[in-house]
């Protein structure tokens, strides 16, 4: 039986660490969420039933679930890549925001191009701007030793100010007081999934699910290949696991910090493709809506692995969509309940990751003994 | 809480030992750190405990100071059994400890550090006032002058150590334990420390001095206990022993079959070192203008007590530490900076610390097995790793070096120490390098693996490689080397051809007793 | 408006706006100087604001509200401690989790209990901390210069404003003049030195976090009981993070942190004043620029280009007593 060798969970079998502990942590998060539902005088079981139905009960719901999951996949991957280099990128929010700017610039000002050129250019714009926003904190961490957690937090706020300024004073729709840009030209939008599939004769219910979902899955594959199948990913993971081993292996940890953050920022930036180019079709204020932070929960739950991230993203996507339906059915349980669950998942799967280790250890010992 | 008033003024009964440790036993997981260790320290004496790294000295003293609890055994202070469960109780029992890594707050002043934990009330003002006057008294009494309002972080190491001693005395310590106190001190600072210790002894304090530096312990102690591999192997009166005897006792003889090897057939110089100077992270010179060469087909062993510059020399040769002066040549070509470049020149390096450096613990074995060679096109198909090839390559290395279990996908940390080490050796040896830098190849490795590793080292020599071996194990150096260099104080204190050196001679040189003039190298 | 009066008014709102920053920064000071990163100031403030407004709504007593706010904040601090001290979890993750959790919980409970879109009901005057008029303020208002300063700037704040300014010397005194402060600072620099001196680092850090809880509770209660008359969804609006920035900007010391809070509060006050105002010769200064300044300044400081902010050495490192 293979056993985890290091860390607080040392000595426990792998299945317990990869399966049982996360399940227990998730269970704890949901249990407390259930208590809060009780506290506001509703029935938690009924809430769960409505939530699951709302997320998967009908075709349109599934479309919405996957639409939300797309955002989580991008920001979750972003956090995970930085994690593998030992970095805590708490700035996904700002990187996604600025990534949206890069994408919007392409969609607004290069819309004389055909869609076939706009689409890749928009992806590049989102990724480049997101990466650029991550570069400064990365450089400061690598070469000036400035704590990246703090600098990325600051950069989130700076991004918010920059975007507010641009949307209010520079890019706002002519003749409008709304802090948003004009609409993207029709050919500068990502096709919705039901339109795309409809064109080849497959009929599904209308939902905001769009082609960026495929890009998100593509990114999962790309991150998996990059991390575990290329020398560049190897260098990055080595620097994250042990600085001294990296130096011994001829790898510069400082450079890996930069690489990891550029990739991370680019992935976060791509979130805007789903939200703006796919659905809103214009640059709006605060479209990131906490997805950057939620990416931390996703990455923690998915244990930094693309497959885990997809699963965690589906879970959170379902929570978002199901939560919306739930609040429609039981108005006293608002969508903020999803935020509660998110916070609890980060708490239990992240900060209290090993809380159940002693209990699991004791249970396994007893099981083996008796 | 112990305040200065509560000092233990009761003089020890005439014949009771100040400290008595009886059959102390302590295990950390599989490591048996202390095996039935007993020790008796007479009051008013300076008692030395010597032993190599990992002999169990620090563990023993940590038990005395309440950091660890012994699995078995008894502690007696001044003849009375003492239950010491934490540092607070140790302090209350009159024990003061000066740790190897000072337990000081750099951003605090000297007095603030001294009163920490013995503030004498909720407010600091009175405690600071009392500490100031007490400090000047202690300074007069023991030559322990330290500016009371200086920030500790601004003080040189020697003065920081005095603050540690002052801390202990301020808490009323009657028994002072110093762990490797001269490790980071300049010679003059060490001399001053010994003056202080003698004064403490003159005032009736008991001092326990832990060190692996034999010359110093001979100079200052009354009695010496020697530890080896977790056991107490001998007690001697300082006046009745010699550095040579202590060195032999410390190193001991491990039951190893002798390495069979033929005569060396040295060829041309593959590794040359010219006037190399290397500094440590704090900028102190650790290697003083060292020159030597290693030829093809020979093993050159560097003997020396840990901390005499061997580690820094090895790291500089491997490109992990900048060269302050001098140059390094591989096969006649001067080398540039960086470890990757050197690998391409045919330099392989088995680092002293495999856990921190040689391997990546959370990685699979096959990932650890390509560390440093991860850019090798052989491991790639187009741009991606060819894991099938890497797995096969790793499996064959594991076979060749008898790594068990031979599973390339097992997590590195899950292998035993010996198998981890064999994995490192396999990676570095199988590259067919010109020069092999090998640091502590058998540290923490079981006997069977040791013999295996020794044979592979000899095989590399016979294949015409130049091997530089750094080891704290004297018998390893003597058994394997064709030439032996002894390092002391960052300089080469002596050189012997194979078979010409006796353990005694080497021990004397390692202890710095051989050539007083070269002590601690050139300025 | 006369320039002098304008200045006094801007300074007056600077005082009001910096109060939550000051209290939260002092809160962060306890935690971070003891070695525990606290990016959860925001969440603790928000939780306290909600608890304070809720209890004040039902009891009509600002004091009961204040106590509830402090209690809620201390509870959150204990959760943070349980994760970071007892379980040695990642301190950043824990703080972030609490921030998100609280922003969700306050919204859920607020809507469920009061059904006003996340707001709590408007508090009547007696359930709040009201401005205190200093003697003679009304009379002195007409006196130009000093009279304006006295009646506008010094007088007319509520109790908690004065409390916040008293908090700074108090915190400084605790930190630098008491045994607790000495040990707390030592725990943040070199916890082993504390343990070898026979003191429990764990207990010490828990006590530090409780102090953090109290101060954050004050900051939160100020928002909903004094500055506003109810709890509003996400009413902290990043103030916890600005306080953290101020703490770093003040290099983890009470008085410089106070000055940083005042500076950031001043920038906020100026930003409000500048909204839509054409400055002669400059034109309209974008408010966002002024709003972003605290963050930009903090990054520049962290980069080491203007002086260097050296954090407590053991900050963020989980303390392991035994190897």
Q: What pLDDT, on the 0 to 100 scale, is given for residue B211? A: 82
- Residue B204 corresponds to which tokens in the numbers above? 């009736």
Q: What pLDDT, on the 0 to 100 scale, is given for residue B7? A: 40
* Same domain, residue pair B444 and B421: no
Q: What pLDDT, on the 0 to 100 scale, is given for residue C126? A: 87
Read off the pLDDT of residues B114-151 as tens digits, 9 standing for 90 and up.
999 889 889 999 999 999 999 999 888 888 888 999 99
Mutate to test the interface with B, among A242, A243, A254 (most CBs of B within 10 A): A242
Would residue A366 count as lying in a domain? Answer: no
Would residue B351 count as lying in a domain? Answer: no
Lowest-pLDDT range, A128-132, B210-214, C93-97?
A: B210-214
Which range marks the domain in which residue C173 is found? 3-302
* Same domain, residue pair B271 and B223: no
> CA–CA distance from B156 to each of B146, B180, B185, B282, B346 (Å)?
11, 17, 9, 12, 42
What DSSP string describes B296-319?
TTEEEEEE--TTSSHHHHHHHHHT
Q: Which residues of chain B have pLDDT under 70?
A: 1-14, 53, 183-184, 186-187, 252-258, 339, 447, 513-523
* Same domain, residue pair B29 and B151: yes
Nearest residue in B to A222, CA atom: B384
Read off the pLDDT of residues A38-68 as tens digits, 9 standing for 90 and up.
988 889 999 999 999 999 999 999 999 999 9
Interfacial B residues in 420-439 facing A (CB < 8 Å) = none
Domain count, chain A: 1
CB contact under 8 A, B108 and C186: yes
Q: Hey, which bits of C101-231 come out as E strands?
A: 131-132, 157-158
Give the side-chain half-sphere CA count within 13 A for B215.
19
Instruction: State the DSSP code for B284.
Output: -
Least Cα separation, residue B280 to chain A (angstroms): 15
Nearest residue in A to C116, CA atom: A332
CATH number of the domain within which A266 lies:
1.10.3470
B351: chain A residues, CB-CB within 8 Å: 248
pTM for the model = 0.86
* Same domain, residue pair B195 and B103: yes
For the segment C81-103, the average pLDDT, to the nearest whole number, is 93
User: pLDDT averaged over chain A?
Assistant: 91
- How confident is residue A3, by pLDDT bands cut at 50, 70 and 90? low
Helix (H, G, I), strand (E, B) or coil at B39: strand
Hey, which residues does B485 pair with through a beta bridge? B302, B495
* Same domain, residue pair B333 and B399: no
Read off the pLDDT of residues C231-274 as tens digits, 9 standing for 90 and up.
999 899 889 999 999 999 899 999 999 999 999 999 888 888 88
- Whether the CB-CB separation of A233 and A113 falls below 8 Å is answered with no
- Whether the CB-CB separation of C32 and C312 falls below 8 Å is answered with yes
- Residue C294 corresponds to which tokens in the numbers above? 């605290």
Would residue A141 count as lying in a domain? Answer: yes
Here the ipTM equals: 0.89
Would residue B110 count as lying in a domain? Answer: yes
Q: Hey, which bits of B52-191 come out as E strands?
A: 72-77, 80-81, 95-98, 175-179
A96: phi then psi, degrees, rounded to nearest 5: -65, -40
CB contact under 8 A, C199 and B117: yes
A165: phi then psi, degrees, rounded to nearest 5: -60, -50
Among the partner-chain residues C97, C238, C299, the one whose CB lies closest to the CB of A151 is C299
A337: chain C residues, CB-CB within 8 Å: 104, 108
Q: What pLDDT, on the 0 to 100 scale, is given for residue B282? A: 73
Helix H segments across B442-491? Answer: 447-462, 474-480
* Same domain, residue pair B468 and B328: yes
Q: What pLDDT, on the 0 to 100 scale, is given for residue B186? A: 66
* Same domain, residue pair B45 and B67: yes
Q: What pLDDT, on the 0 to 100 scale, is given for residue B258? A: 65
**Cis peptide upstream of residue C292 (ω within 30 degrees of 0):** no
* Same domain, residue pair B235 and B334: no
Tokens 């030793």 -> residue? A145
For the segment C293-309, the average pLDDT, to the nearest whole number, is 82
B358: chain A residues, CB-CB within 8 Å: 245, 248
Would residue A199 count as lying in a domain? Answer: no
Instruction: State the DSSP code for B270.
Output: E
> CA–CA distance from C314 to each of C185, C216, C317 (Å)?
10, 23, 6
Q: Hey, which bits of chain A come out as E strands?
A: none
* Same domain, residue pair B330 and B310: yes
Which range marks the domain in which residue A280 is found? 44-189+208-348
> C-alpha angle with apex B303: B299 to B305, nearest 5 degrees?
155
CB contact under 8 A, B385 and A237: no
Whether A314 shows a pLDDT value over 70: the answer reads yes
> What is the percent of chain A where pLDDT is above 90?
71
Q: What pLDDT, on the 0 to 100 scale, is given for residue C135? A: 81
- Whether the CB-CB separation of C298 and C208 falls below 8 Å is answered with no
- Whether the CB-CB separation of C298 and A154 falls below 8 Å is answered with yes
CB contact under 8 A, C189 and B119: no
- Residue A152 corresponds to which tokens in the numbers above? 């990325």
CB contact under 8 A, B115 and C186: no
A18: chain B residues, CB-CB within 8 Å: none
Among the partner-chain residues C89, C101, C288, the one whose CB lies closest to the CB of A340 is C101
Among the partner-chain residues B86, B104, B125, the one whose CB lies closest to the CB of C198 is B86
Would residue A365 count as lying in a domain? Answer: no
Report how far residue B58's alpha carbon sits from residue B53's, in angstroms, rounded to the nearest whole number.
9
Would residue A255 count as lying in a domain? Answer: yes
Q: What pLDDT, on the 0 to 100 scale, is given for residue B451? A: 83
* Same domain, residue pair B158 and B82: yes
* Same domain, residue pair B390 and B311: no
C177: chain B residues, CB-CB within 8 Å: 123-125
Chain A interface with B: residues with Cβ < 8 Å: 2-6, 225, 228-231, 234-235, 237-238, 241-242, 244-245, 247-250
Interfacial A residues in 166-185 facing C (CB < 8 Å) = 168-169
A169: chain C residues, CB-CB within 8 Å: 286
Would residue B146 count as lying in a domain? Answer: yes
C115: chain A residues, CB-CB within 8 Å: 332
Least Cα separation, residue A251 to chain B (angstroms): 8
Report how far residue C287's alpha carbon sits from residue A129's, in angstroms, rounded to the nearest whole number.
23
- Quick check: B109 contacting C, CB < 8 Å? no
A91: chain C residues, CB-CB within 8 Å: none
B87: chain C residues, CB-CB within 8 Å: 195-198
Hey, which residues does B81 pair with through a beta bridge? B76
Report how far residue A352's alpha carbon sits from residue A26's, in angstroms, rounded to the nearest whole number.
11
Neighboring chains of B (3 or more beta-carbon pairs < 8 A): A, C
Which range marks the domain in which residue B239 is found? 4-8+17-250
Closest by CA position to A87, among listed C224, B218, C297, C90: C90
For residue A195, give the H/E element and its range: helix A193-199
Least Cα separation, residue B523 to chain C (angstroms): 34
Instruction: State the DSSP code for B259.
Output: P
Whether A105 shows a pLDDT value over 90: the answer reads yes
Would residue A21 count as lying in a domain? Answer: no
Start-to-end Cα distance in chain A:
19
CB contact under 8 A, A151 and C304: no
Least Cα separation, residue A64 to chain C (angstroms): 22
β-sheet with B19-28: strand ranges across: B31-41, B19-28, B72-77, B80-81
Least Cα separation, residue C267 to chain B (angstroms): 32
Report how far residue B422's alpha carbon sits from residue B431's, in angstroms, rounded to the nearest whole number.
14
Mutate to test the interface with A, among B340, B345, B349, B360 (most CBs of A within 10 A): B360
A247: chain B residues, CB-CB within 8 Å: 320, 339, 357
CB contact under 8 A, B68 and C322: yes
- Residue C21 corresponds to which tokens in the numbers above? 């920053």
Domain count, chain B: 3
**Residues 6+ positions from C116 with CB-CB distance below 8 Å:** C110
CATH number of the domain within which B496 lies:
3.40.50.300
Read off the pLDDT of residues A227-273 as tens digits, 9 standing for 90 and up.
999 999 999 999 999 999 999 999 999 999 999 999 999 999 999 99
For the segment C182-187, the average pLDDT, to the nearest whole number, is 96
C271: chain A residues, CB-CB within 8 Å: none
Would residue C242 count as lying in a domain? Answer: yes
* Same domain, residue pair B100 and B120: yes
Q: What pLDDT, on the 0 to 100 scale, is given for residue B252? A: 66
CB contact under 8 A, A140 and C299: yes
- Residue C72 corresponds to which tokens in the numbers above? 């809620």
- Quick check: B122 contacting C, CB < 8 Å? yes
For the segment C89-115, the average pLDDT, to the nearest whole number, is 92
> What is the percent of chain C where pLDDT is above 70?
98
Least Cα separation, residue B160 to chain C (angstroms): 13
C88: chain A residues, CB-CB within 8 Å: 8
Nearest residue in C to A296, CA atom: C93
Nearest residue in A to B337, CA atom: A250
- Whether the CB-CB separation of A36 and C108 falls below 8 Å is answered with yes
Closest by CA position to B84, among listed B70, B101, B99: B70
- Quick check: B118 contacting C, CB < 8 Å? yes
Domain count, chain C: 1
């Amino acid at each position: 039986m293979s056993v985890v060798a290091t860390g607080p969970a040392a000595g426990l079998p792998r299945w317990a660490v990869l399966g049982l502990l996360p399940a227990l942590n998730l269970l704890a998060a949901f249990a407390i969420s259930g208590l809060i539902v009780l506290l506001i005088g509703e029935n938690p079981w009924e809430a769960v039933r409505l939530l699951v139905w709302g997320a998967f009960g009908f075709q349109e719901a599934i479309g919405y679930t996957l639409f939300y999951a797309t955002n989580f996949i991008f920001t979750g991957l972003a956090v995970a890549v930085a994690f593998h280099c030992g970095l805590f990128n708490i700035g996904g929010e700002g990187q996604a925001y600025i990534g949206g700017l890069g994408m919007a610039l392409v969609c607004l000002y290069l819309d004389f191009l055909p869609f076939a050129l706009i689409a890749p250019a928009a992806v590049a714009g989102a990724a480049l701007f997101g990466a650029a926003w991550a570069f400064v904190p990365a450089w400061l961490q690598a070469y000036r030793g400035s704590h990246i957690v703090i600098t990325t937090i600051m950069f989130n706020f700076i991004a918010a100010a920059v975007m507010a300024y641009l949307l209010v004073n520079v890019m706002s729709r002519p003749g409008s007081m709304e802090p948003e840009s004009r609409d993207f030209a029709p050919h500068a939008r990502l096709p919705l999934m039901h339109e795309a599939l409809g064109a080849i004769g497959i009929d599904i219910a209308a939902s905001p699910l769009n082609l960026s979902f495929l890009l998100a899955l593509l990114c999962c594959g790309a991150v998996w290949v990059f991390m575990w199948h290329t020398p560049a990913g190897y260098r990055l993971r080595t620097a994250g696991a042990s600085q001294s081993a990296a130096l011994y292996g001829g790898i510069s940890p400082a450079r890996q910090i930069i690489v990891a953050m550029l990739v991370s920022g680019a992935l976060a930036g791509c979130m805007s493709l789903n939200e703006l180019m796919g659905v809103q079709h214009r640059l709006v204020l605060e479209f990131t809506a906490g997805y950057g932070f939620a990416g931390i929960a996703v990455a923690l739950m998915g244990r930094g692995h693309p497959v885990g991230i997809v699963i965690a993203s589906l879970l959170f996507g379902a929570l978002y969509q199901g939560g919306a339906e739930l609040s429609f059915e039981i108005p006293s349980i608002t969508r903020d309940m999803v935020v509660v669950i998110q916070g609890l998942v980060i708490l239990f799967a992240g900060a209290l990751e090993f809380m159940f280790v002693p209990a699991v250890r004791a249970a396994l010992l007893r099981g083996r003994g008796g | 809480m112990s305040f200065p008033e509560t000092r233990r003024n009761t003089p020890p009964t005439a014949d009771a030992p100040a400290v008595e440790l009886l059959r102390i036993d302590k295990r950390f997981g599989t490591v048996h750190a202390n095996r039935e260790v007993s020790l008796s320290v007479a009051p008013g004496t300076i008692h030395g405990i010597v032993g190599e790294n990992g002999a169990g000295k620090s563990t023993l003293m940590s038990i005395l100071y309440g950091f660890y609890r012994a699995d078995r055994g008894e502690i007696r202070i001044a003849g009375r059994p003492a239950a010491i469960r934490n540092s607070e109780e140790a302090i209350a029992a009159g024990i003061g400890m000066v740790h190897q890594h000072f337990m000081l707050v750099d951003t605090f002043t000297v007095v603030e550090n001294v009163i920490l934990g013995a503030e004498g009330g909720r407010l600091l003002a009175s405690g600071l006032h009392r500490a100031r006057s007490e400090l000047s008294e202690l300074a007069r009494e023991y030559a322990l002058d330290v500016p009371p309002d200086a920030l500790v972080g601004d003080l040189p190491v020697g003065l920081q150590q005095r603050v540690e001693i002052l801390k202990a005395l301020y808490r009323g310590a009657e028994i002072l334990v110093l762990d490797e106190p001269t490790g980071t001190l300049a010679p003059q600072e060490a001399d001053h420390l010994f003056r202080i210790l003698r004064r403490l002894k003159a005032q009736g304090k008991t001092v326990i001095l832990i060190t692996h530096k034999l010359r110093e312990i001979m100079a200052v102690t009354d009695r010496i206990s020697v530890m080896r591999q977790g056991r107490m192997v001998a007690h001697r009166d300082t006046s009745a022993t010699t550095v040579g005897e202590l060195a032999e006792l410390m190193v001991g003889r491990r039951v190893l079959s002798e390495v069979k090897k033929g005569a060396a057939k040295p060829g041309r110089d593959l590794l040359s070192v010219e006037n190399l100077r290397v500094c440590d992270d704090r900028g102190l010179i650790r290697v003083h203008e060292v020159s030597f060469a290693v030829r093809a087909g020979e093993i050159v062993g560097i003997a020396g007590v840990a901390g005499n510059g061997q580690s820094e020399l090895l790291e500089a040769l491997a490109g992990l530490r900048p060269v302050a002066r001098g140059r390094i040549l591989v096969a006649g070509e001067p080398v540039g900076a960086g470890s990757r470049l050197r690998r391409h020149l045919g330099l392989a390096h088995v680092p002293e610390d495999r856990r921190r450096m040689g391997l990546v613990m959370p990685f699979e074995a096959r990932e650890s097995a390509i560390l440093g060679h991860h850019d090798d096109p052989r491991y790639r198909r187009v741009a991606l790793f060819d894991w099938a090839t890497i797995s096969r390559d790793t499996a064959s290395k594991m076979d060749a070096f008898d790594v068990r279990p031979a599973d390339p996908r097992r997590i590195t940390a899950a292998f035993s120490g010996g198998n981890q080490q064999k994995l490192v050796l396999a990676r570095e040896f199988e590259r067919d390098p010109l020069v092999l830098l090998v640091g502590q190849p058998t540290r923490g490795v079981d006997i069977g693996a040791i013999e295996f590793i020794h044979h592979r080292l000899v095989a590399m020599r016979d294949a015409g490689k130049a091997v530089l071996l750094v080891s704290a194990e004297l018998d390893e150096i003597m058994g394997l080397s064709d030439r032996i260099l002894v390092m002391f104080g960052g300089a080469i204190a002596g050189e012997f051809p194979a078979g010409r050196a006796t353990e005694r001679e080497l021990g004397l040189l390692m202890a710095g007793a051989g050539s007083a003039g070269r002590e601690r190298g050139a300025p | 408006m006369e320039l002098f009066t304008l200045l006094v008014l801007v300074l007056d709102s600077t005082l009001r706006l910096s109060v939550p920053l000051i209290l939260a920064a002092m809160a962060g000071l306890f935690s971070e100087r003891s070695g525990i990163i606290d990016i959860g100031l925001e969440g603790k403030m928000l939780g306290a604001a909600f608890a304070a407004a809720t209890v004040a709504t039902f009891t009509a007593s600002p004091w009961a509200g204040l106590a509830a706010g402090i209690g809620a904040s201390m509870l959150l601090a204990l959760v943070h401690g349980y994760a970071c001290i007892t379980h040695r979890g990642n301190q950043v993750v824990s703080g972030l989790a609490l921030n998100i959790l609280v922003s969700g919980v306050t919204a859920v409970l607020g809507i469920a209990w009061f059904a006003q879109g996340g707001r709590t009901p408007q508090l009547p005057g007696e359930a709040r901390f009201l401005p205190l008029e200093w003697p003679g303020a009304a009379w002195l208002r007409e006196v130009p210069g000093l009279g304006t300063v006295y009646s506008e700037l010094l007088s007319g704040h509520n109790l908690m404003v004065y409390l916040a300014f008293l908090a700074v010397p108090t915190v400084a005194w605790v930190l630098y003049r008491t045994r607790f402060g000495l040990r707390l600072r030592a725990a943040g620099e070199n916890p082993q030195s504390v343990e070898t001196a026979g003191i429990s680092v764990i207990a010490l850090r828990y006590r530090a976090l409780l102090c953090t809880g109290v101060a954050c509770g004050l900051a939160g209660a100020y928002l909903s009981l004094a500055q506003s008359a109810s709890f509003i969804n996400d009413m902290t609006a990043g103030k916890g993070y600005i306080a953290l920035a101020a703490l770093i900007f003040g290099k983890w010391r009470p008085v410089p942190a106070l000055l940083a809070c005042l500076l950031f509060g001043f920038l906020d006050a100026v930003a409000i004043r500048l909204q839509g105002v054409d400055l002669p010769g400059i034109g309209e200064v974008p408010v966002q620029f002024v709003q972003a300044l605290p963050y930009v300044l903090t990054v520049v400081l962290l980069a080491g280009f203007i002086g260097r902010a050296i954090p407590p050495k053991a900050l963020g490192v989980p303390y392991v007593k035994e190897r």
